[in-house]
Amino acid sequence: MEALTELGYGFCVGMVVTGLFIAASPKDGSGKTMRFVLRLFLLLCFLLPLAKTDISQFFSREPPKVETKTESYDALIQNQLEQTIKDNIKETAVSTFESYGISPVSLDVSIHISEDNRITVSEMKVVLSQEDLLRCDEAVAAVNEAFDVSLLLNSEGEG
């Protein structure tokens, strides 16, 4: 784009200078020579910027790279998708615990989405009360089976 701007600028300046000299040149025999030299000057004003630039960029078949914000939109969509998946997994795990009469104090889920769009639960941290921690074996087994993940259990007072 810069090369095209330079080309246009050189050509416009050349046209103005050539027009001024042609208007001031005499109409007799020496005027014809002067007009020929000025036309040659105008041609050089057009060709010199082209000689400095890489002309292949004008004839390439690839479209020019346009910087857009699609990368940031893609990242935003990916983050929203991951958050929605985490919320759904968390909701399912909490309902599984509640079906066994256990109410988790908190539940954190870490997921991984692979290149082929497979979702894997990589980690699930569950904080339970002391009473629920003593009787949670069946619920833990059900969640392990549902999500194929080992749970990290903590009691309410632990970090």
72 pLDDT higher than 80: no
Query: What does pLDDT average to over the chain?
Result: 81
Confidence band, pLDDT 50/70/90 cuts, at residue 38 = confident
* Host H or E run for residue 110: strand 106-113
Mean pLDDT of 37-66: 71
Mean pLDDT of 31-50: 78
Q: Can you identify the CATH homologous superfamily of domain 74-155?
A: ANL, C-terminal domain (3.30.300.30)
* Host H or E run for residue 50: helix 29-52
Distances 128 to 57, 101, 105, 111, 134 between C-alpha atoms, Å? 64, 12, 5, 21, 9
What's the distance, CA 34 to chain centroid?
A: 57
158 pLDDT higher than 70: no
Q: What digits encode the pLDDT tens for the residues 86-137?
A: 999 999 999 999 999 988 999 999 888 888 888 888 889 999 888 888 888 8
Helices 70-99 and 137-147 cross at an angle (nearest 10°) of 150
Q: Domain map of the chain by residue range?
A: 2-59, 74-155
